[in-house]
Amino acid sequence: MTKRIFILDGHPDPANERFVHALANSYCEGAKEGKHEVLTMRAANLTFPMLRSQYDYEHEQPVDVVQTCQSALNWATHVVILYPLWLGTMPAFLKSLLEQTFRPGFAFSNESSGRWPVKLLSGKSARIFVTMGMPAPLYRWFFRAHGVAALRRSILRFAGFGVIRTTFIGSVGNLDRKRAERWLARAREYGRRAK
């Protein structure tokens, strides 16, 4: 089944040698091979202000870049978010973009349905790729992947996302060519299958 896929490359460094960029490109290539429709956005190429108050979050009109991101999220049936682990969680630049994007009235309604706000992005799936310097099992089991858990629960699930898969890629600073190619091939296959 053909899906509409939005790929958000969340690495704030525009340098092409970043492994996150290669993963995003491989996923995109696989998705196109699988005949899926694809939109991509690279956070490193964006400029937007940071939110500084609750009033701004709830009432300020999002800038054009944020509206473009919101349009892509609305359009997509499957969303892919990729980023490097910085201090146990996503880079502040990506977090700032998500704060701007997942606002009341877009991601959820201020009107509640029972105890919880109405989820406005229901029915979508997601894949999260996280690269890190430490071994992935250490982050997953010892640190309990707390930064990714926040993205999954407090942002994506809160907005209504259903199936959310996560791929941890550890020790990226020591990736040899063979292992890097295996990860890129895996990302390409995920893209082909829209998983």
> What CATH number was assigned to the domain covering residues 4-193?
3.40.50.360
The mean-pLDDT minimum among 30-39, 49-58, 109-118 falls in 109-118
Q: Phi/psi at 74 (nearest 5 deg)? A: -65, -40
pLDDT for the residue 116: 78
For residue 27, the model assigns a pLDDT of 98
Whole-model pTM: value is 0.96
pLDDT (0 to 100) of residue 143: 84
User: What is the rounded average pLDDT of the residues 35-46?
Assistant: 98
* 104 vs 114, residue with greater confidence: 104
Q: What is the band of 113 on the pLDDT scale with cuts at 50, 70, 90?
A: low
pLDDT per position as a tens digit, 117-164:
899 999 999 999 999 999 999 999 888 888 999 999 999 999 999 999
DSSP line for the chain = ---EEEEEE--S---TT-HHHHHHHHHHHHHHHTT-EEEEEEGGG---PPP-SHHHHHHSPPPHHHHHHHHHHHH-SEEEEEEE-BTTB--HHHHHHHHHHS-BTTTEEEEEETTEEEESSTT-EEEEEEE-SS-HHIIIIISTTHHHHHIIIIIIIHHT---EEEEEE--GGG--HHHHHHHHHHHHHHHHHT-
Structure-block tokens of residue 156 = 């994506």
Can you give 108-139 as a three-state secondary structure string?
EEEEEECCEEEECCCCCEEEEEEECCCCHHHH
| Predicted pLDDT of residue 122 | 96
Indicate the pLDDT class of residue 112, thresholds 50, 70 and 90.
Answer: low
Q: Where are the domains of the chain?
A: 4-193
165 has which bridge partners? 127
CA distance 56 to 61: 8
Question: Rounded to whole angstroms, how far apart are CA atoms 57 and 84?
Answer: 25
Mean pLDDT, rounded, of the chain: 95
- Percentage of residues in the chain with pLDDT exceeding 70? 98
